[in-house]
Structure 1
Amino acid sequence: MRLFSIPITFFTIACFWSCNPAPAGKQEKNEAVKGGFTANPQEVPGQEVQTLEIGEPAPDFNLPGVDGKFYQLSDFDEAKVLAIIFTCNHCPTAQAYEERIKKIVVDYGEKGVALVAISPNSPIGLLPEECGYTDLGDTYEEMKIRARDHDFNFPYLYDGDTHEASVQYGPVATPHAFVFDQERKLRYVGRIDNSEKPGTGHAEDLRNALDALLEEREVAVPETKTFGCSTKWAWKNHFAVEVNEKWAASPVSLEEIDEAGIRSLLKNDSDKLRLINLWATWCGPCIIEYPELVTVHRMFMGRDFEFISLSADNPAQKDKALKFLEEKNSVLKNYIFNKEDKYALIEAIDSEWDGALPYTVLVEPGGKVVYRQQGPVDLLELKRAIVDHPMIGRYY
């Protein structure tokens, strides 16, 4: 999923799909949308996208920000220098640069530099398998969460409906920086710096470009290659369709397990972070949340992580439980307790569990429980418990 100057194949088969109506008509300058903006990711005809070249003018745009306002190029007319960074939520490289981008705003805001971030990705082109380094996908609603929780100090704009701005600028990866002078001619395009890991770089390439333009000098290195996750163009969603079809066609199995087997699951002698969910076909909250847990499995299964489901249905209901799992494409390790004695099940699982379903635990190798939830999980909280665990992490 990483590239230099052109998109390349993902390291794993590559989150979330959303659909809502787009805003009608052009908004007034920086006007808050009445009733709030509602995203509407659409199919877009395939096209060749060229990256803007040095010396070319900045294309105009009219995009919604996470603050509910629409932004246009003219909103930044007073800035001596304008930096536009194409970034996103899901990409580990993009996440690695978030704090550096915020520091640029702090260091250069009073010097006359404006910085705006744009997410170019279409949510319909993103698979759960591509979200193994994140708690959030690239929908507009998830962008608002990221900006809020990470205290973004810059406009964060959504271009996932039709790529109206992105196809004009031509970002090949996230993050991809474009820096314009006071006449809004492109003077720098490329990476933020050459050291992805947080704490090892200081946005040197971007800072050098900003310093040069503020001092009315030519940028010494006006163009660099960029390294990150390929832009998720809507017309490339055929890959997502193929992967989802293959997933839906994969076989699902259900094995019986006894108390000793359950204790072994909780002991976790594996080298993976293990998520265990107890559920039953007669449990309404269980069957409602279960598809989302399968999505969590798909997100993190390429990492040091595994999801195991354990049905509390009676053994006589095994066929019914299997049918449910097949309908939900539960392509993972699925077990059903082999006795009707539910109190034996409770004792085998966890002394802190009182028997109410659903029940979910996250267990480290060696058996330490680092997350437990009786009742439906908060999905964002669960995903953060996984991705922020030292065994997983948000960066390469």
Structure 2
Amino acid sequence: MRESSDGGRTLTVGVVAARSGRLASLGDPLAFAVSLLEPKLTRIGNGPREYAVRLVSRDSRSTADGARQAVRELVRDEGARIIVTLAGTQVLPAAADACEEAGVPCVSSTFPWQVYYYGRGARDTAPFRWTYHFCWGLDAIAEVFADLWEQAGGSRRTVGCLWNDGPQGAWSRHAEAGFAPAARARGHHLVDPAGYTEPATDLSGHVEAFAAAGADIVTSAATARDLSLFRALAAERGSTPRLITCSRWLAYPPSTTSGGERPAQANVATLVYWTPAHPYRSSLDGMTAAELAEAYERATGRQWLQPLGLAYALFEVAAHALRTAADPTDPAAVAEAIGRTRLETVAGPLDWTAGPVPNVATVRLAGGQWQPGTRHDYELAVVANRHVEGLPVTAGLLPLR
């Protein structure tokens, strides 16, 4: 690891963010957080000592190889003491694994914790040494979605599963750590045809299987393109579901197309993990969730994004670890500090001492739905808030039809 020219008195926080490629939109919240924090997060106190801080970013290029290269450059060329990242199904594990190999602490988010932890080969008795994560779990998704299914009518429902044959589908149907066992424990019957390969070319088999089983609710981890295909086929066959819940890609606001067609997200129910209405504020500067969202919209001219709160919280955790480590220049001490972190952040309370497994802190989930808005084409309404104290419900659940 490269030492700073001032004898280690400068602490570098490395940022792996997609700035090009298919995940570039996921890199926007991280890039904005960096721009907002660079003039604020310039020095950190650690006991009687004080250190200069610099934030340095590298583009993952939305690929696993790009993420690994970004980590290597941040550690080798920039002397990063800790790395933060948000990424997708293949890119985030690659970045975290590269940090594990390099022996540098990493904090990440936006990825169900079971996939992050067990999917990368950890076990409850054999955790990771360097890599830490905060997010919700597949079981928490199932609990929130079950709330929505039951709100749509009836306590026990037959639910069609639009799951692919990749990691999203495999972990959703996992017999022990997935979505399916938690949903079944709530009394719901899941209809799960064979997983499809992305991008889907024909989902008519799923439409027919759901219709045959009487499943008028569908749950999904599909891309916008594949969900749009499913909705079109279902409408064509007169089998439009009463409700669709989807756990993937719906953190981003949809908009009406130039031709006036409704987007695939319209009236689809999803996860709510961060909004301007969440009753949280940053441990770094006291900024509230509402103020952070307003700052983003004012600076970019675009609608606020759910991952924005998680992105800002990454730097809160990194700064807290550097402040509380026995020696912030020692990677092992910084990793140990993350592992004992209990912190109130703009993304909510994070507690690595509480589990559910080593290396993981959880984020609370509510249920929402993309509904026609007043300020924007579509806005994320909170329709179920049982798990998030202080978050108001802003609308009732609308039928998909």
Question: What's the TM-score, normalizing by structure 2?
Answer: 0.27
**Higher alpha-carbon Rg:** 1
Name the structure, 1 or 2, with higher relative contact order (CA <8 Å, separation 6+): 1
Question: What's the TM-score, normalizing by structure 1?
Answer: 0.27
